[in-house]
Structure 1
Amino acid sequence: MRARFTTDEIAAAALRIVDDSGVSALSMRSLAASLGTGPMTLYNYVAGKEGLEELVVAAIVTDVRLPEPTDDWQQDAYAIASAMWQGIRAHPAAIPLVLTRRMASSTGFAAAEALIGALSRAGLEDRDRLAAFHALLGLVTGAAQADLAGPMVAARIGSVAGADHPHVEALSAVAVETSVEEDFDRGLRMLLDGVAARCPTRGRR
């Protein structure tokens, strides 16, 4: 009798492989072995490795714990973006997939839906809402990617920059002394303040 799995079970198993051994270790064969079945069985659920990678991204995003919406759109957007960032950085080996793979289904759309919903409550014009969503998403993924480098890279950049690039050297020194949490928090609040500045005010058309 053919073994049967749910898509969530396959996605969770694929994510465990990436967490434990990296993206290069993920294959139909390795996933089948972890599930105790044959590779051909998996083709009933996913077309190939690209599909597996999309499932990994969906598994990460789906696991993000989203806050309940409030009357404060800015605080909501802050909480949602923070939750997305924490969810992504919890799986550092999978970050390259988050940056390069788009989900083929709506399984992992809850976080995006919540963030867009918060921005919608800000009363932004359509194009401003789109730009704000992309900016926030870019900050989340970019900060997660930068988190992989850490302070050692910042220190190395500062030493290489030297006197020829004093601004780079000076900012690298600040980066070494600043935690990734503080840096993300500050950047997110600055970005949301900028978004808020474009919100319509009473009496404005």
Structure 2
Amino acid sequence: MTEPIWLRPERGARGPRPTHRRTDIAATAVRLADAEGLDGVSLRRVAAELGTGPATLYRYITNKDELFDLMVDAVLGEAQPPEPSGDWRADVSAVAVAQRELALRHPWLAGLPATRPSLGPNGLAWQEATYATLTGLGLSADETLLRVQTVLTFVRGQVIEELAEREAARRSGQDLRGWLDTQSAYGESIIGSGRYPQLSRIMLEAATPHADDRFDRLFQYGLERVLTGIGG
């Protein structure tokens, strides 16, 4: 069984001197993923961008999953975990906001399994800081884990929705406001039918779907509800 990449030295004791660093490989792969998604990332493509052959990369990594590990840890290193304030709600909220910003900046992150977190140095720093936000609540290890996972799952779900809307707007050439405008005549027929009173009330009165900051509103409202729940 191959040791995790984080246990292996970047440069082996034998063989030719490496011409690249793991950070170079990760940065190249991140750039490709930001532009084309995870489907645009392969060992062959990364090697070509670095001006070398795929076989050379196997001196640094053994498979694509290790490449993804390097990529995740690289982007987690773009910012340090928020400094603790002593207020657990504020601290958890700061982590959630930072993780949302990171995932929106690198949309491919949402395509990787959250059950296999980065165990690189940056990933470990973020995990430690995140679990530390709840140390003052006197929770067991499992209670801490479940509360943190609940928050991060909420963040991930919100990010996936926001990214899906971005993709729909790109694909159709219409943002959400434009799409709603095209549905107006149909919406009037729905309201006029009298068959959907609760939906009609939302369609007539709700301002959030039309707000430019609708995703920020949804995120903040949902996060506050989640924090209230995990604090109980």
Query: What TM-score do the two structures reach when normalised by structure 1?
Result: 0.79
Query: Which one is further off, 125-134 or 78-87?
Result: 125-134
Question: Residues 37-79 of structure 1: CA distance to partner in whole angstroms, max 9, x if unpaired?
Answer: 2211111111122222232222222324321112212111111
Deviation at 1:121, TM superposition (A): 2.3
Worse-superposed segment, 95-104 or 109-118: 95-104
1:180 equivalent in alignment to 2:192: no
Unaligned segments of structure 2, at least 5 residues: 1-15, 166-174
Q: Within 5 Å, which residues of 2 pair with 1:1-205?
A: 3-92=18-107, 94-99=108-113, 102-103=116-117, 105-107=119-121, 108-150=123-165, 152=176, 155=180, 170=202, 176-178=209-211, 179-196=214-231, 198=232
Matching residue's letter, 1:139: F
Greater RCO (CA < 8 Å, at least 6 residues apart): 1
- Cα RMSD of the aligned pairs, angstroms, is 3.1
Consecutive unaligned residues in structure 1, runs of 5 or more: 199-205
Fraction of identical pairs, as percent: 30
Q: Is the contact between residue 103 and residue 110 of structure 2 (CA under 8 Å) also seen in structure 1?
A: no
* 2:137 partner SS: coil
Q: 1:157 to 1:69 in 2, by over 3 A?
A: farther
Deviates more, 1:20-29 or 1:50-59: 50-59
Point out the structure with max Rg over C-alpha: 2
Q: CA 1:168–1:141 in structure 2 vs 1: closer, same or farther (change >3 Å)?
A: farther
Cα offsets for 1:120-164 (capped at 9, x unmatched): 22323333322211101101211111111227399599979x577
Q: Which moved more, 1:98-107 or 1:34-43?
A: 98-107
- CA contact 1:58–1:103 (8 Å) conserved in 2: no
TM-score (structure 2 length as normaliser): 0.70
Cα deviation for residue 18 of structure 1 reads: 0.6
